[in-house]
Amino acid sequence: MVLDLGHIPVEDVEWGPKTLLDGSILQLNREDLVASAWGNDPRIASIETEIAKPGESVRIIPIKDVIEPRVKVEGKGGMFPGLISSVETVGEGRTHALSGCSVMTVGQIVGFQEGMIDMSGPGAPYSSFSKLLNIALVIKVKERISRHEHEVALRMAGLRAAVFLGETGRHAQPVEIQRFEMYPTTQVSRADRHLPRVAYLYMLLSQGLLHDTYLYGRDLKNLLPTLIMPTEVMDGAIVSGNCVSACDKNTTYHHQNNPIINELFKRDRQDLHFVGTVVTNANVTLMDKERSSNYAVKLIEMLGVDGVILSKEGFGNPDADTMMLCAKLEEKGIATTVITDEFAGVDGRSQSLADTTPRANALVSVGNANERIALPSMAKVIGDETIIDKMAGGQPGSLSEQGITAELQVIVGATNELGFELLSSRET
């Protein structure tokens, strides 16, 4: 089982008569892009398109999802199975990725939620998306569309646009090809038997509108934990429907480029055996939490592993799922490392998590999301910055003539719990 992931670096994006990849320049025809995003969705009222480049004085707000344009070149299935392409199993063959750019869906859905990025200034170092060439789709839906329908319309429009742009890379020559090779968990060569067996436990949020995640198009609220080939996520098997308190929600881009999967592959058969990936959810009821954590730990145990990396999504309520999983794994004698962010208060003096277990003795902190940041005004705003007052992490008065003062929570991916960024927090 092999996936070759070819990276095609995009160094600039510009409007032009046709949509095509000219070397490393992605040329976009505006009408075609809009038509591709729109599909034939009758719920959509308008789509405006903008390009935002690193270093520009541009703010994008509110952002719903970020997606990397990719195309399936060889092998079964296509991008975003179950949502855009069929439910054929993906993750094998060859995939091309347009590296360095993204499709970003923009538009207010729920009111309190969604996030922002700045393309320059003090906010830019906190999000990898500030370093991308972002193709923003500002989408409005018709009146009387329910919020749930609104979310679906934006999610699907973003995926369609990403697939449309991904197609431009089908025949391009990748600058770098990463080969990801998987083998049945029982097949370990004699020489490698001394290496520790490590699994990845991929906990995903599944709590309702804008707290949902999709696996092969299936809402994870109804999931019993399951095994997945880590390369499946590179072909879009996991899609975000999720953007509350944007700092620690996984966008689809984060899933496509999951840094834990990359890191485990990098060290596979060098320092460890990457024996499997288990997807689990984080629902709201205690019964669901217990069922999912029991089931996930059982699957991990069946893989016969020594250690687990547990990634988290969200904060507060999912702290309970995380601690439950960690405690149960450690009780089985499986060494566990957890990636989490912190909500230690604006002054950093509060306890950081809503639930704890003494067994969680190896935590990686990806930052205190309550810490405040001052973001000076930008020359251009894509979207609408006045909603910052209601955004999770903002407050009345967050927006002034000088710009925005808010908690780090508002920045998309700033404290991503797949460990995407460099940010951390420590005691001082």
Least separation, in Å, of the C-beta of 217 and another protein?
20
Give the DSSP per-residue string, 174-243: -SEEEEEE---TT---GGGTTSPEEEEEEEEE-SSTTEEEEETTEEGGGPPPEEE-GGGGGGTSEEEEE-
Alpha carbons 301 and 299: distance in angstroms, whole number? 5
Helix (H), strand (E) at residue 286: helix 286-302
Whether 60 contacts 134, CB under 8 Å: yes
Least separation, in Å, of the C-beta of 265 and another protein?
10
Alpha carbons 124 and 376: distance in angstroms, whole number? 11
Which residues on adjacent β-strands are paired with residue 96? 6, 71
Alpha carbons 254 and 257: distance in angstroms, whole number? 5
Q: Is the Cβ of residue 98 or residue 339 nearer to another protein in the bound state? A: 339
User: Backbone dihedral region of 108: left (phi > 0), alpha (psi from -120 to 50 degrees) or beta?
Assistant: beta
Q: Is the Cβ of residue 92 or residue 212 nearer to another protein in the bound state? A: 212
Least separation, in Å, of the C-beta of 254 and another protein?
11
From the list 101, 243, 247, 326, the catalytic residue is 243
Whether 243 contacts 65, CB under 8 Å: yes
Alpha carbons 239 and 213: distance in angstroms, whole number? 6
Sign of CA dihedral 183, 188, 192, 193: positive
Q: Find the radius of gyration of the CA atoms of the chain.
A: 21
Q: Is the Cβ of residue 35 or residue 320 nearer to another protein in the bound state? A: 320
Q: Is the Cβ of residue 16 or residue 259 nearer to another protein in the bound state? A: 259
Q: Is the Cβ of residue 235 or residue 248 nearer to another protein in the bound state? A: 248
Whether 309 contacts 201, CB under 8 Å: yes
Angle between the N-to-C axes of helices 317-331 and 286-302, in degrees from 0 to 180, rounded to the nearest 10: 40
Alpha carbons 410 and 60: distance in angstroms, whole number? 11
b/e map of 143-173 (b: 16 or more CB within 10 Å)?
A: eebeeeebbbbbbbbbbbbbbbbbbbbeebe
Task: For residue 361, give both structure tokens.
Answer: 């003795």
Least separation, in Å, of the C-beta of 128 and another protein?
10
Least separation, in Å, of the C-beta of 423 and another protein?
6
Alpha carbons 428 and 414: distance in angstroms, whole number? 21
Task: For residue 366, give both structure tokens.
Answer: 């990806």
Least separation, in Å, of the C-beta of 355 and another protein?
8
Whether 233 contacts 101, CB under 8 Å: no
Q: Is the Cβ of residue 17 or residue 396 nearer to another protein in the bound state? A: 396
Least separation, in Å, of the C-beta of 61 and another protein?
15
Least separation, in Å, of the C-beta of 65 and another protein?
17
Q: Is the Cβ of residue 32 or residue 263 nearer to another protein in the bound state? A: 263
Q: Is 101 tagged catalytic?
A: no
Q: Is the Cβ of residue 3 or residue 109 nearer to another protein in the bound state? A: 109
Alpha carbons 252 and 136: distance in angstroms, whole number? 15
Q: Which of the residues are catalytic?
A: 243
